[in-house]
């Protein structure tokens, strides 16, 4: 009897290390893949910098099409495919504020997949120091803000409201304000909506389905996969004032959250109760 237990113990001791190793290997493989993704971003950015400089000599929103062309190559390397609906909702004469959910650094693929012409993003200022990627984003007109200094961020956004009208720019904001891979949307910050109302331009919401089937940081999962994307109809802001910011934020949030659950094949949950997804 005792020999039997010893045998079981022996077998466990024999098989456990490879399993542990396999677990560690999964984590390592995931890390390496993310590092390779960032390295590729840096490499493509480094290639795009001279093209931007030669074409336009400095910072210009027109350079974004150069970055977009390089950015669109990334999906072939990682086997990520996009199924896009509603692209015609980008057909807007003049400026608008585009808002979308932000799950991970992988969003750069989905961003460049559908990015309209003359559209610049709002980014955290830390990205300016990401070597060639920070530089190329600067050359392509990305607006950097310091999230820790709300008053500075607000005054930069107020300037953006002027610039987008003067220079006919679309501005892409991630209203969650940070990456979020939780399988739900974070509450929205209000900057994007102040911006749209100040400039009196429409908001165009874009929703990317949850990456959970092929990418999950907690489970060290990063394989090839398909992402459904939907560009929703514009939300007008003409005639709205500062008093309507919260209402506009809420409206866009609810619309995008419903779409997010639908695209991700999940039952729609209001915070508290559960409703069936349409
Ligand atoms: C070459 C190939 C491949 C290579 C790829 C590499 C190259 C890439 C190149 C190019 C692509 C670049 C892509 C970059 C992507 C980057 C993504 C990011 O970095 S995401 C993080 C940064 N973005 C944000 O954070 C924006 C969203 N945040 C906001 O809009 C916030 O509202 C913000 C920062 C302006 C303020 O944040 P608060 O934390 O203080 O939050 P609140 O609750 O919104 O505001 C507090 C109070 O201030 C008022 N407020 C906000 N904005 C206002 C304004 N403009 N005017 C007046 N009041 C305002 C609000 O109404 C609120 O007041 P009441 O609670 O309503 O009383
Ligand atoms: C000097 C080397 C650093 C390595 C840099 C890797 C270069 C990749 C640059 C791709 C741009 C990624 C955009 C992005 O996804 O940024 C994250 C922010 O939105 C939100 O930040 P956070 O969640 O609040 O930390």
User: Could you read off the pLDDT of 98-123 as tens digits, one per residue?
Assistant: 999 999 999 999 999 999 999 999 99
26 — pLDDT class (breaks 50, 70, 90): confident
Q: Is 11 left (phi over 0), alpha (psi -120 to 50) or beta?
A: alpha
Q: Measuring from atom 1 of ligand 2, which residue has the nearest CA?
A: 130
Q: How confident is the model at residue 237 (pLDDT cuts 50, 70, 90)?
A: very high
Substitution site in 35, 37, 38 for ligand 2 pocket (most atoms within 8 Å of beta carbon): 38
Q: Is this prediction's pTM over 0.95?
A: no
Average pLDDT over residues 2-24: 66
pLDDT at residue 278 is higher than 60: no
pLDDT band at 268 (very low <50, low <70, confident <90, very high): confident
- 105 Cα: distance to centroid of ligand 2 (angstroms): 6
* Tokens 């959250």, located at residue: 257
Check if the beta carbon of residue 92 is closer than 8 Å to that of residue 231. Answer: no
* % of the chain surpassing 90 pLDDT: 85
Q: Please check the confidence at residue 275 and state whether its pLDDT lies above 80.
A: no
Report residue 12's pLDDT band, with 50, 70 and 90 as the boundaries.
low
pLDDT at 191: 97
- Would you state the pLDDT for residue 22? 64
Shortest CA distance to 121 belongs to which of 49, 69, 58, 63?
Answer: 63
Domain spanning 20-263, CATH class: alpha beta
pLDDT of residue 7: 66
List Cα–Cα distances, 49 to 59, 66, 140, in angstroms. 11, 9, 9
pLDDT of 17 above 90: no
What residue owns the CA closest to ligand 1's atom 65? 190
Which residues, in sequence order, are bridge partners of residue 173?
Answer: 99
- Nearest CA among 107, 76, 83 for reference residue 263: 83
Residue 96, strand partner residues? 170
Residue/partner pairs of 180-184 with CB below 8 Å, 24 or more apart: 180/101, 180/102, 180/103, 181/103, 181/104, 181/211, 181/215, 181/216, 181/217, 183/210, 183/212, 183/264, 183/266, 184/257, 184/260
Average model confidence (pLDDT) across the chain: 93
Phi/psi-derived region of residue 177, left when phi > 0, alpha when psi is between -120 and 50, beta in every other case: left
Every domain of the chain and the residues it spans: 20-263
The mean per-residue pLDDT over the stretch 232-243 comes to: 98
Residues 204, 100: Cα–Cα separation, whole Å: 9
For ligand 1, say whether the CB of 194 is within 6 Å of any of its atoms.
Answer: yes
Query: In angstroms, rounded to a whole number, what is the distance separating the alpha carbons of residues 133 and 33?
Result: 18
269 — pLDDT class (breaks 50, 70, 90)? confident
* Residue-wise pLDDT tens digits, 219-229: 999 999 999 99
CB-ligand 2 contact for 101 (6 Å cutoff): no
Check pocket membership of 68 for ligand 1, CB cut-off 6 A: no
More confident residue, 276 or 84: 84
Q: 145 C-alpha to center of ligand 1: Å?
A: 7
Q: Identify the residue whose C-alpha is closest to ligand 2 atom 7.
A: 38
* Model ipTM over 0.95: yes
Q: Pick the residue with more confidence: 259 or 93?
A: 259
Instruction: Determine which residue's CA is closest to atom 33 belonging to ligand 1.
Output: 191
């Amino acid at each position: 009897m005792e020999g039997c237990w010893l045998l079981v113990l022996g077998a466990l001791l024999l098989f456990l290390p490879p399993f542990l190793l396999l677990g560690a290997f999964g984590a390592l493989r995931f890390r390496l893949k993310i590092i390779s993704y960032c390295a590729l971003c840096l490499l493509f950015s480094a290639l795009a910098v001279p093209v931007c400089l030669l074409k336009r000599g400095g910072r210009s929103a027109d350079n974004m099409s150069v970055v977009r062309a390089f950015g669109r190559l990334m999906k072939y390397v990682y086997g990520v495919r996009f199924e896009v609906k509603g692209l015609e909702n980008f057909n807007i004469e003049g400026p608008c504020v585009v808002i979308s959910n932000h799950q991970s650094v992988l969003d750069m693929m989905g961003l460049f997949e559908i990015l309209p012409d003359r559209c610049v993003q709002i980014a955290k200022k830390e990205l300016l120091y990401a070597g060639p990627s920070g530089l190329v984003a600067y050359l392509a007109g990305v607006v950097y803000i310091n999230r820790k200094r709300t008053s500075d961020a607000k005054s930069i956004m107020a300037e953006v409201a002027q610039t987008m009208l003067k220079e006919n720019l679309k501005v892409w904001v991630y209203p969650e304000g940070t990456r979020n891979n939780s399988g739900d949307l974070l509450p929205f910050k209000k900057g994007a909506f102040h911006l749209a109302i100040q400039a009196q331009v429409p908001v165009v919401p874009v929703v990317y389905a949850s990456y959970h089937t092929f990418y999950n940081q907690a489970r060290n999962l990063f394989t090839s996969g398909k992402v459904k994307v939907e560009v929703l109809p514009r939300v007008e802001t003409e005639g709205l004032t500062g008093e309507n910011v919260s209402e506009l934020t809420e409206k866009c949030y609810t619309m995008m959250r419903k779409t997010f659950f639908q695209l991700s094949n999940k039952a729609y949950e209001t915070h508290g109760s559960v409703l069936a997804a349409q």
